[in-house]
Copies of this chain bind each other. A is one copy, B any other.
């Protein structure tokens, strides 16, 4: 604990902020539909420097939100979703950088989504919410970055769907960032990824309590369907190896088979627990919209060439990370991306990290990630001539000696 009572390295107590735009002129979406007003929830950690050059945008995955680090109250049991990587002296060092994380459009953590009130009707949008894309999510983030008065982000970083947003930023808004860190992600959702998304959606549709999305009033919610969707997801976030290590064939609270259909194996209990828990924090319609956005994501379009997507983005610095046991976003996705970036002559550092944690590795391989991210960020901050806060010199020295 430091002097403020926060755990060492924590950003401490933080508060969500909200920026609303498209109050008068609606926000045009890729689909051709429009939406307004649009609110984006975001959090910031650390301080913006004088020339606003030390800002890093963190993009979250499917079920994440703007709350990436610190605690909302002293009673909070869980910190933000990437707290191990964001904070004083951590990978995204808040002593040096101004870190922003915003909730994606279509989600249910403060940004406008299907559970938000449709001003035209006074009721939640439900399925009247327009289908949004990763491109739409990023353009909503740009509104927040504009609002914060930041012309150019030092870096945009994120894993999984967060990585798709990183690539969208890099491909389409290269003037707005200096470096991109796509982790455990893809430039094009594969048919297997679409298949898993669709099964999750079908589990929600199959729940009669879903009521074609109109479940916000009336007390019945599609929790059963959403839980099944989440269980499918959790299988894909693990690896066979991590399942063997964590669960094996261990029984839960039993010496031998019970010969009935209650939860018996530890792995069953893990899935059921996480499926149920998810229904208390996530909105089923948001699950539909956010997975659909991921499925639509394909940077190789419209030309069919992934390299073509990056022809105007050759001056960015890229750190691409994949994990050997990630079978949901297997390393070959990252390798294809790296090939495309090399083809246009971009400056790319690529690491396929040895890990047994499957897709979850981007949240779990903290130590390896920290070393990598710190040294990459250090380099780009130097190259971009970012004026770091005065207090930082000693921190940097401490960290660098720590690596020796």
The chain A residues found within 8 Å of chain B, CB to CB, are 31-33, 127, 130-131, 188-192, 194-196, 198-199, 201-203, 205-208, 224-225, 227-228, 231-232, 235, 238, 240, 243-244, 246-249, 257, 259-261, 263, 265-268, 271-272, 275, 288, 292, 295-296, 298, 327, 330
Bound Cα distance from A207 to B131, whole angstroms: 27
Report chain B residues within 8 Å CB of A206.
203, 206-207, 224-225, 227-228
Minimal beta-carbon separation of A313 from chain B (angstroms): 22
Q: Are B259 and A189 in contact (CB under 8 A)?
A: no
**Residues from chain B with Cβ under 8 Å of A266 in the complex:** 191
- Is A265's CB under 8 angstroms from B295's CB? yes
> Min CB distance, A82 to chain B, in Å?
26
Q: A191 near B267 (CB under 8 angstroms)?
A: yes
Chain B residues near A263 (CB, 8 Å)? 198
Q: Closest B-chain residue to A202, C-beta based?
A: B228
Closest chain-B Cβ to A219's Cβ sits at a distance in Å of: 15
Contacts of A188 in B (CB 8 A): 249
Establish whether residues A190 and B130, one from each chain, have CB atoms under 8 Å apart when the complex forms. Answer: no
Question: Could you list some 16 contacts between A and B, CB below 8 A?
Answer: A127-B261, A131-B259, A190-B243, A190-B244, A191-B247, A191-B265, A191-B267, A192-B235, A192-B238, A195-B268, A198-B267, A199-B271, A202-B272, A240-B330, A261-B292, A327-B327
**Told that A130-B259, A199-B271 touch, could you supply 5 new A-B pairs with CB distance under 8 A?**
A131-B259, A190-B240, A195-B238, A202-B227, A206-B227
B194 and A265 form a contact (CB under 8 A): yes
Give A265 to B197 CA distance when docked, in angstroms.
Answer: 11
A244's partner among B127, B191, B196, B292 (CB-CB below 8 A) is B191
In the assembly, what is the distance between CA of A223 and CA of B260, in Å? 22
Residues of B within 8 A of A196 (CB): 235
| Nearest neighbor of A226 in chain B, beta-carbon distance | B206
Question: Chain B contacts of A192 at CB under 8 A?
Answer: 235, 238, 240, 243
Of all chain B residues, which has the CB nearest A212?
Answer: B261
Rank and list the top 4 A-B pairs by shortest CB-CB distance, nearest first.
Answer: A206-B224, A31-B259, A191-B243, A131-B259
Whole-angstrom distance between the Cβ of A237 and the nearest chain B Cβ: 11
Minimum C-beta distance from A209 to chain B (A):
8
- Interchain CA distance A73-B393 in the complex, whole Å: 84
Q: Which residues of chain B come closer than 8 Å to A231, judged between CB atoms? A: 198-199, 202
The one of B199, B203, B267 in contact with A235, judged by C-beta atoms closer than 8 angstroms, is: B199
Instruction: Give every chain B residue within 8 A of A244 (Cβ-Cβ).
Output: 190-191
Q: Is the CB of B261 within 8 A of A199?
A: no
Asked if A260 and B131 sit within 8 Å, CB to CB, the answer is: yes
CA of A208 to CA of B206, assembled, Å: 10
Question: Please, how many angstroms separate the alpha-carbon atoms of A198 and B232 in the complex?
Answer: 10
